[in-house]
Structure 1
Amino acid sequence: MHHYARPLAEHVPAIFGVGYEGTSLADLIDRLHGLGVTHVADVRLNPVSRKPGMSKNKLRAALANADIEYLHLRSLGNPKENRPGFARPGPARQAALDTYSRILDRPDAQAALDELQTLAQTGRVALLCFESDPAACHHQAILARLAEG
């Protein structure tokens, strides 16, 4: 097992979003280390990918080898039919946010949000999804809900 020095990246919040679009697994892990990440919370509804190494089991193994804990929080996933709205401005985005907000109100999603807050008390958590543009990803709605307390 590799043991990486974990630099403490200043000015990085305890919970933040990361997209893997356009990056390799090795580059993603390097980025996570640079940010001092201790846990990756996969917030994809279905953690599968055509991108090498980004599906659940291979990703979990690679992260474990890099001393980063992986957890899949399916209850925070965004349904496929709701995803396009996040990439559009105006009413389409608001409709997607409203739909996703109802998902975050569910008991299983509330439990996942509580788990994230607990992890963030002792480490740094990256919410992982595909989109490289944070404005087009549902993890921004998760972060906003966490900020509400």
Structure 2
Amino acid sequence: MEQSRCLRLPGATPTFSGLLLPRIPDLAGEQYSDDTASGRSTSMTVFTIGYEGLDIDTFMSLLGEHGIETVVDIRELPLSRKPGFSKKALARTLNLSGLEYVHMVDLGCPKPVRDRYREDGDWKRYTGSFLKYLKSQKAAIADLSDLVNSSNCALLCYEADFNFCHRSMVASAVREHCGAEVEHISVAKVRTATPAGRQLACA
């Protein structure tokens, strides 16, 4: 079974997909003074990014510009015809640059929902179907919220326009769960398709 090469961190514990994630400190008491002393803000932001229209070098530059520490891949199938964006190659590139890669398959859009959208291009139906599925993934949203609390994370999927990608719904669920701000990393001069013409690639 293919596994991502997540960096081992001190005090790490195994969690979903066999990946290692840092222990999340208790947010009470001394944690606040520690954050203040280190200059780290207690506010959280979850970023999102789509790699449509990007090459791997531009993608990595965007991550650096936004101080991303962990890329959370929320494609159900983390495969791509674009060089560098399939799971193994992407994890390798991120790890060599000192970033972490985490694949959260439970937050990918289920294949039946994607297939229906390919057939009818009905975004409203797609949104309703995915949100219904997402309500059943409370544990995954909780795990992701913990990760957002400990690392500067970017949710990864394919679509350049977050308005027509399930990552916007996942980010909103994290915001509702833990109060994190949401920031969608904008990609300038990237051509996007109309909703009816989209092909959700490995979402």
Q: TM-score, normalised by structure 2?
A: 0.60
Q: Greater shift after overlay, 19-28 or 139-148?
A: 139-148
Q: CA deviation at 1:26?
A: 1.3
Partners of 2:54 and 2:156 lie apart in 1 by 13
Deviations, residues 82-133 of structure 1 (Å, cap 9, x unaligned): 3437xx6xxx322211111122122xx3222112211121221100001001
Equivalent residue for 2:96?
A: 65
Q: After TM superposition, list the pairs within 5 Å mapping 1:53-132 onto structure 2.
A: 53-83=84-114, 84=117, 92-106=122-136, 109-132=137-160
Contact 1:116 1:125 (C-alpha < 8 Å) held by counterparts: no
3-state SS of 1:121 partner: helix
Large movers: runs of 4+ above 6 Å: none
What is the number of equivalent residue pairs in this alignment?
131
| 1:44-94 deviations in Å (ceiling 9; x for gaps) | 010000000100001000000111100101101113443437xx6xxx322
Matching residue's letter, 1:141:
M
Q: CA deviation at 1:33?
A: 1.0
Higher gyration radius (CA): 2
Q: Which amino acid aligns with 1:50?
A: R
Secondary structure of 1:44's aligned partner: coil
What letter matches 1:95 in structure 2? R
Question: Secondary structure in 2 aligned to 1:99?
Answer: helix
Amino acid corresponding to residue 172 of structure 2 in structure 1: A
Q: CA RMSD in A?
A: 1.8
- 2:101 match: secondary structure: strand
Give the Cα–Cα distance (whole angstroms) in 2 for the partners of residues 46 and 35 of structure 1.
26
**Separation of aligned partners in 1, 2:139 and 2:56:** 29
Which residue of 2 is the match for residue 140 of structure 1?
168
Structure (1 or 2) with the greater helix fraction: 1
Cα deviation for residue 24 of structure 1 reads 0.7
Letter aligned with residue 15 of structure 1? V
Distance 1:30 1:57 in 2: 19
- Give secondary structure in 2 for the equivalent of 1:46: coil
Amino acid corresponding to residue 132 of structure 1 in structure 2? A
Write the deviation string for residues 25-56 of structure 1: whole angstroms up to 9, x where unpaired: 11111110111111111000100000001000
**TM-score, normalised by the number of residues in structure 1:** 0.80
Contact 1:21 1:132 in 2 (8 A): yes
Q: For 1:127 and 1:50, locate their aligned partners in 2 and report how far apart those are by CA, in whole Å.
A: 19
